[in-house]
Structure 1
Amino acid sequence: MTHPLRPAKPRPGDRMAVLSPSSGLPGLFPMPYELGLRRLHDDFGMETVEYPTTRKMGATPQQRAADIHAAFADPTIRAVIATIGGDDQITVLPHLDADVLRADPKPFFGYSDNTNLLLFLRELGIVSYHGCSVMVELGRPGAMHPSTADSFRAALFTSGPYELTPSSSYGDVNRPWDDPRTFDSEPETEPGDGWSWHNGDQVVEGIGWGGSLEIISWLLMADRAVRAPETYAGNVLFLETTEEMPRADEVYRILRNMGERGLLRQFSALLMGRAKSWSFEQPLGPQERERFRRQQREAVLRALDEYAPGTMAVFDVDLGHTDPQLVIPVGGAIRVDGPARRITVTY
């Protein structure tokens, strides 16, 4: 990706496609979804446009691909955003027409299972944006987190450098979407410890590649949207783990396999998102969550020490499934300044 194509940014008042390329959860949980739609309109000035599968659970891969094509082919649509993630977007990729997506590229926002589409677009040379879903970040109870809103606004409407900053507090404990009381107040947060730097004596700049670690492992197994390792020489890798909360040994094994493939050593730096350490299936207590995050960091460092010992890494960046969330350009420039402890992305 030597000459990335940055789609033209929309303006307030433009039409924005709202798609469910993975799961149709808006049909099951309308409260966070409708709240997210209202904020897109009221706070960001976007006119939202839904498609046949946006609220449909169980839509086929072909139907979801058709919605993606329709959104990109419509000249009045100037940006696209995913409602939420899921677990089978990889089955949509074979049905996508690259020529349709290239003909009128648009900024696409999503994360988690949307790593599939983000990296597919990147392989077409199109810059896209890892972050901000309608149901989670825009549908956050009480109010959008100011850091999330500022990053999303900058990525949506502006071009140029944007400095990421560590959040003074964060949260990853959720409340049920089917309880109206959930939306009466903002989620609880706890103090943040800032970023943790490894080999932070370097200054590097490269094109961003990455997403949710579990999804990348599936893409590698299916040989989808991933090129030869040397293609990514000098790129900046960013990774985060999902609410499925993979164990530290599983995180290590995925990275080990990336190392065995010759992929891990290609990247000039790694930005590792703060680990999601709570879910409804694994409601860990405070000490257990701290231990979970520490063990994941140790697993990542173990893999780096074995396969990319000179690579700079920054841990606990707010770029994934925790709150707040910063938008990362997939295919856009990322500058990591270790001595100054600064990270700057180009939207």
Structure 2
Amino acid sequence: MTSPLSPAYPPKPSAGDRIAVISPSSGLPGLFPLPYELGLERLRKEYGLEPVEYPATRTMGSTPRERADDIHAAFADPGIKAVIASIGGDDQITVLPYLDRELIRAHPKPFFGMSDNTNLLAFLRTCGIVGFHGGSVMCELGRPGAMHPLTTESLRAALFTSGPYELRPAERWRDIDRDWADPATFDAEPETRPGSGWTWVNPDRVVEGRSWGGCLEILGWLLMADREVAHDLSEYDGGVLLLETSEGMPSATEVFATLRNMGERGLLGRFPALLMGRPKTWSFERPNTTEEAARYAADQREAVLRAMRMYAPDTTIVFDVDFGHTDPQLVIPYGGTVRVDGPARRITVTY
């Protein structure tokens, strides 16, 4: 793997510009058109952008090369000013070998995505391009009823503005989903529950650095495949680690093992600050009760603390930041600047 370049922010789009909508992972827009079409409509009406689809965007079972071709076409087209993923998936790592690093490096654009799109975000970082963790079409833009105000505001700032943006804890949030195939799902706002704010550990310092991380399961796969991870780990010194877990809801044992192995590789101690996304505690496969969900979240937090106590005991940690698989979703610059102010209990990102 080539050595990472210091990431730079690509030019931002303006209202009226064209934005590529691609499916670098799963072609779920073809199976669930309702949230997808709603997301496209909001891109047009609420953000003033014109979405442009590519051949694999609605295609289930597209090949890695076909998805790579869409990525290349989106980045190379001078009329496209930003790129956004329709949704995540579970095999984007197979697309990475087909990507033309020099083509993408020569045409830097803002890319928005999360979950399996951790692959592409990490790839862009090594190309010297700041990406944006968050903002997929189906999940965030296609939210039933209306987009969450925090998501709306954060995505708008990340799309169109440059400079500092202060994150805020969600007053209400959710992680319980409804059936995307049922039109009634989109008739009303989803049920939410009260937020409990962020939990700080070792809040005795101010850390400002470039971010790296993403979905913990995907990071584990990248580390196993030795892809898009700096061979010189000093690249991450002084940075802010972003971690969140998916709707696959890995066990506390799995979370600890992945972090332990990152610690053994010498990664955890490089980051003086860790932002840990609020975990998703409910899925259609595991419809946890309120008590079961709370226990799952508590077990995951203890697993994270146990690993960090072993490998990075002084790191400042902020739990339950809303940037993962729960709703709302705050957009975090990937490879961009994040400031974690422990004494003031503030998190500021630079868009």
TM-score, scaled to structure 2: 0.98
State the secondary structure of the residue aligned to 2:221. helix
Structure 1 position 201, deviation (Å): 1.1
Distance in 1 of aligned mates of 2:13 and 2:285: 39
Question: Residues 18 and 2 (structure 1 numbering): CA distance in 2 closer, same or farther, change over 3 Å?
Answer: closer
Matches within 5 A, 1:118-137: 118-137=121-140
Matches within 5 A, 1:188-337: 188-228=191-231, 229-337=233-341
Instruction: Specify the alignment match of 1:338 in structure 2.
Output: 342
**Is the contact made by 1:204 and 1:337 (CA closer than 8 Å) also made in structure 2?**
yes
The answer to whether the aligner puts 1:144 opposite 2:147 as a matched pair is: yes
Distance in 1 of aligned mates of 2:208 and 2:9: 18
Instruction: Specify the alignment match of 2:15 in structure 1.
Output: 12
Instruction: Specify the alignment match of 1:22 in structure 2.
Output: 25
Instruction: Specify the alignment match of 1:47 in structure 2.
Output: 50
The residue type equivalent to 1:188 in the other structure is E
Distance in 2 of aligned mates of 1:3 and 1:136: 30
**Residue 175 of structure 1, aligned match among 173, 178, 185:** 178
The answer to whether the aligner puts 1:160 opposite 2:163 as a matched pair is: yes
Deviates more, 1:230-239 or 1:253-262: 230-239
Structure 1 position 295, deviation (Å): 0.6
Instruction: Specify the alignment match of 1:72 in structure 2.
Output: 75
Deviations 1:72-94 (A, max 9, x none): 01000000000000000000000
**Is the contact made by 2:145 and 2:188 (CA closer than 8 Å) also made in structure 1?**
yes
Q: What root-mean-square deviation, in Å, do the aligned CA atoms of Structure 1 and Structure 2 show?
A: 0.7
Distance in 2 of aligned mates of 1:117 and 1:35: 24
State the secondary structure of the residue aligned to 1:156. helix
The answer to whether the aligner puts 1:97 opposite 2:77 as a matched pair is: no
State the secondary structure of the residue aligned to 1:208. strand
State the secondary structure of the residue aligned to 2:349. strand
**Is the contact made by 2:7 and 2:126 (CA closer than 8 Å) also made in structure 1?**
no
Instruction: Specify the alignment match of 1:184 in structure 2.
Output: 187
Distance in 2 of aligned mates of 1:99 and 1:4: 15
**Is the contact made by 1:4 and 1:331 (CA closer than 8 Å) also made in structure 2?**
yes
The residue type equivalent to 1:341 in the other structure is R
Distance in 2 of aligned mates of 1:325 and 1:26: 20
Matches within 5 A, 1:52-63: 52-63=55-66
State the secondary structure of the residue aligned to 1:115. helix
Distance in 2 of aligned mates of 1:3 and 1:114: 20
Structure 1 position 222, deviation (Å): 0.2
Distance in 1 of aligned mates of 2:166 and 2:213: 19
State the secondary structure of the residue aligned to 2:40. helix
Distance in 2 of aligned mates of 1:95 and 1:268: 34
**Is the contact made by 1:24 and 1:55 (CA closer than 8 Å) also made in structure 2?**
yes
Structure 1 position 104, deviation (Å): 1.3
State the secondary structure of the residue aligned to 1:299. helix
List gaps (5 residues or longer) in structure 2.
none
Distance in 1 of aligned mates of 2:137 and 2:33: 11
State the secondary structure of the residue aligned to 2:282. coil
Structure 1 position 270, deviation (Å): 0.1
State the secondary structure of the residue aligned to 2:42. helix
Deviations 1:160-190 (A, max 9, x none): 0000010111100000000000000111110
Structure 1 position 293, deviation (Å): 0.5
Q: Which portions of structure 1, spanning 4 or more consecutive aligned residues, are displaced by more than 4 angstroms?
A: none
Instruction: Specify the alignment match of 1:112 in structure 2.
Output: 115
TM-score, scaled to structure 1: 0.99
Structure 1 position 3, deviation (Å): 3.7
